[in-house]
Amino acid sequence: MNYRIFPPEEMMMATVELPLSKSISNRMLIINALTPGATAQVRTADCDDTNLLAKALGEAAGAKGEISVNTGAAGTATRFITAYLCAKEGASATVDGSERMRQRPMGILIDSLRALGADIRCTEREGYLPLRIEGKRLAGGHLNIDASVSSQFISALMMIAPTMTDGLTLHLEGELLSKPYIDMTAELMRRSGAEVEFDAPFEEIVIAPKPYSKEGTLEAEPDWSAASYWYETAALTAGFVTLPGLQLPSLQGDSACARLFEMLGVRTEPSEDVDNALEVAPDPEQYSRFEVDLVDTPDLAQTLAVTSAMLSIPFHLRGLQSLRVKETDRLEALRKELDKFGIVVEIRNDSELVWNGAHHPVFERPAIDTYDDHRMAMAFAPTAVLIPGIVIRDAEVVSKSYPGFWDDLKSAGFRITDGDIPEAEAFAPEMSIDPSQQASENPLPL
């Protein structure tokens, strides 16, 4: 379905109940499934990715014979369930996913599991789905792993390590991507009784052969990645958003959103009206150029790039090498969709997005392609503030992480209608996107 988005007619003042973190939820589900005697019900995110993982774990738990697991386009769920099934004694399973998921590399995880004693083979193409797995107790031991591709591989291995005969020592090679996700995994494991050492200089992770012994975190935090779209909305509308339950400090690396959006004219403070809530509010101070390394928080890249462009703040985002192999090639997708606004973005070194203020005339009202990527849809929806009636194509893709996003946007005062842009409609946005309208002068960030 395609949606046309129109901005609030009055100043936005919204209270939004965010979805729970799928990153925390997915880890909780795996750890809980590996904890002997666990009985408490964990409260997790209600979204496609987490529901797929929960379904797969349920099938594996009750299976008496071979099972077939399909994780769709859910990258985290695919990596986590693959490792789990390899370590589950008696499991016999095939693992497959969507066409895009079949194109996403799994070789590092597959080779690592084999080195630890797993019985896993690729049934069509080496290093990719689909997979055939015969589960058993893994030996464990010492393993070198390339940390520059995906932190999900490392987290998947970490969570099954307490079940291994010899535990696991991971030596991390190359630049570690998304370190906060490794920190999150380690902390959630510790809360369930595992012994995990992961300290400076971050080259080794040591996990003892000590089974999980207690039920740890039973409810995930609200999701900071989801919060980022409300920071963007506050920045573009100059409105106010209250986010109950959102925490600082947080297990989630994407809580860096609060600090990063300060540079884009949005402040974060405890709510005076709602207990245990943060308020997101406009601030007149903005940087004149936005430069930041997002190697630890790549899921914020789309939101930050779109916000900066819509505020006419030139940007240079680094550390984005993992975006080439996400739900889509997010670097190329951002370049193409921002070009529809006249924003000329350059991709450098397969890991950087740069906009120096160059733009070209726009003669058509933008219709945003989402590339089966939830974050593309949510990052571009608030641009309706500048171009009322902008179209978001295949808007249902948000169900991957935030099924209630469109309802929340309506509750905040946005108007959403079905359908594409009539061919005869003239392009006449109420606000031009003019890079000459620069933000106030401030020192360059970071």
Q: What is the distance between the alpha carbons of residues 396 and 77, in angstroms, rounded to a whole number?
A: 20
Determine contact, residues 205/186, Cβ cutoff 8 Å: yes
- Sequence-ordered alpha helix ranges (H) in 169-317: 179-191, 224-237, 256-262, 301-310
DSSP 65-89: S-EEEE-TT-HHHHHHHHHHHHHST
Q: How big is the chain by its Cα radius of gyration, in Å?
A: 22
Query: What type of residue sits at position 61?
Result: A
Q: What is the distance between the alpha carbons of residues 211 and 85, in angstroms, rounded to a whole number?
A: 17
- Nearest Cα neighbor of 103 from 130, 76, 81, 77 is 130
Task: For 287, list phi and psi in degrees, rounded to 5.
Answer: -75, 155
Q: What is the distance between the alpha carbons of residues 373 and 143, in angstroms, rounded to a whole number?
A: 33
- Nearest Cα neighbor of 282 from 245, 232, 248 is 232
Decide if 299 is catalytic. yes
In the chain, the N- to C-terminal Cα span, in Å, equals 40
- Using a 10 angstrom Cβ sphere, with 0-12 exposed, 13-18 middle and 19 or more buried, the burial of residue 325 is middle
Query: Strands of 168-173's sheet, edge to edge?
Result: 141-146, 168-173, 204-207, 196-197
The first and second tokens of residue 80, run together, are 């986590």
Q: What is the distance between the alpha carbons of residues 300 and 315, in angstroms, rounded to a whole number?
A: 14
Determine contact, residues 321/148, Cβ cutoff 8 Å: yes
| Active-site hit among 48, 111, 299, 373 | 299
Residues with catalytic function: 299
